[in-house]
Amino acid sequence: MGKIAFVFPGQGSQTVGMGISVTEENDQAKSIFESADRRLGYSLSDIIFNGPAEQLTLTTNAQPALLTTSIAILKCLEEARIQADYAAGHSLGEYTALVAAGAIGFEDAVYAVHKRGEFMEEAVPNGEGTMAAVLGMDREALQKVTEEITAQGHSVQLANLNCPGQIVISGTVKGVELASATAKENGAKRVLPLQVSGPFHSELMKPAAQKFVKVLDEIEVQDSKIPVIANVSAAPMNQAADIKEKLIEQLYSPVLWEDSIVKMLDLGVDTFIEIGPGKVLSGLIKKIDRNAKTYAVQDYESCNQVINEIKSKM
Boundaries of CATH 3.40.366.10 in the chain?
3-123+204-313
pLDDT of residue 187: 96
Residue 205 DSSP one-character state: G
What pLDDT shows up at residue 313?
87
Kindly report the number of other CB atoms within 10 A of residue 150's CB atom: 19
Q: Which residues pair with 131 in a beta bridge?
A: 170
Which part of the chain has CATH 3.30.70.250?
129-196
Spatial neighbors of 42 by CB under 8 A, at least 6 apart, are none
> 89 phi and psi, to 5 degrees?
-145, 150
Per-residue model confidence (pLDDT) at position 196: 87
User: Which of 154, 201, 202, 253 is flagged as catalytic?
Assistant: 201
pTM score, whole prediction: 0.97
Q: State the Cα–Cα distance between residues 273 and 313, nearest whole angstrom.
A: 14
- The segments of the chain whose pLDDT lies below 50 read none
For residue 195, what pLDDT is reported? 85
- Is 201 known to be catalytic? yes
How far is Cα 110 from Cα 39, in angstroms, rounded to an integer?
Answer: 8
Task: Please pick, among 91, 155, 170, 197, the residue that the annotation labels catalytic.
Answer: 91
Measured at the alpha carbon of residue 205, what is the angle toward residues 203 and 209, in degrees to the nearest 5?
A: 115
pLDDT computed for residue 314 by the predictor = 82
Beta bridge partners of 190: 135
User: CB under 8 Å, gap of 24 or more: what pairs does 236-241 form?
Assistant: 236/86, 236/263, 236/267, 238/101, 238/103, 240/103
Q: How many whole angstroms separate alpha carbon 189 and alpha carbon 12? A: 23
CATH of the domain spanning 129-196: 3.30.70.250
Q: Tell me if the bond preceding 52 is cis, omega within 30° of 0.
A: yes
| CA distances from residue 103 to 165, 244, 247 in whole angstroms, order as listed | 33, 10, 12
| 200 three-state secondary structure | coil
Q: Is 91 annotated as catalytic?
A: yes
The domain defined by 3-123+204-313 carries CATH number 3.40.366.10: yes
